[in-house]
Amino acid sequence: MKAHKPVAVIMGSQSDWATMRHAAETLEALGIGHECLIVSAHRTPDRLYEFAKGAKVAGYQVVIAGAGGAAHLPGMTAALTSLPVFGVPVESKALSGQDSLLSIVQMPAGIPVGTLAIGRAGAVNAALLAAAVLGLNDPALADRVDAYRARQTGAVAERPANEA
């Protein structure tokens, strides 16, 4: 059965939602259908296998995967599907997300994970990258991405204001 939602936003834990909700909100703002799922490489490996092996058949076109610490989720997902996978390193308590970043970005040659910045910036940008990919075959979406960027540009003041 084909999913009507082109993007899967997966995360290793409920605790990742505070970060990954920014990806979901950005997709929402761009009118991109998405599903948010908890899939842990360590705690629910069978769920990960089932999700990743079935993601393409389910109709997903892009996977955004956020995880923290020993963040194997994006890499394992990329190993199990040929869909583009964007990894978001979640800021960890012990090492401020540097552990997450390095374990996501340092993939061996042959299995890519497009790795974004640690935390909210990475989550937002993963959604924008997903939009750019989907926009290649969806001119209306590409227009919405352009409008998003134009609004962002328009919101930047020329001079700094005193903070309240």
Under the binding rule (CB under 6 A), the answer on residue 69 touching ligand RP5 is: yes
103 is in an annotated binding site: no
138 is in an annotated binding site: no
16 is in an annotated binding site: yes
For residue 123, how many C-alpha atoms fall within 13 Å in the half-sphere facing its CB? 23
d(CA 114, CA 129): 9
Q: Which of 12, 74, 114, 135 binds ligand RP5 (CB under 6 A)?
A: 12
- Binding span for ligand RP5 by CB under 6 A among 61-69, 108-116, 118-126, 138-146: 61-69
* Cα-based distances in Å from 151 to 59, 125, 145, 147: 31, 16, 10, 6
Under the binding rule (CB under 6 A), the answer on residue 67 touching ligand RP5 is: yes
Under the binding rule (CB under 6 A), the answer on residue 9 touching ligand RP5 is: no
Identify the DSSP state of 13: S
d(CA 79, CA 143): 32
d(CA 161, CA 74): 40
- Binding span for ligand RP5 by CB under 6 A among 12-20, 46-54, 113-121, 125-133: 12-20
Contact 63, 80 (CB under 8 A): no
* Complex with ligand RP5: residue 10 or 30, whichever CB lies closer: 10
* Complex with ligand RP5: residue 114 or 119, whichever CB lies closer: 119
Binding residues: 13, 16, 43
Binding footprint of ligand RP5 on the chain (CB under 6 A): 12-13, 15-16, 40, 42, 67-69, 90
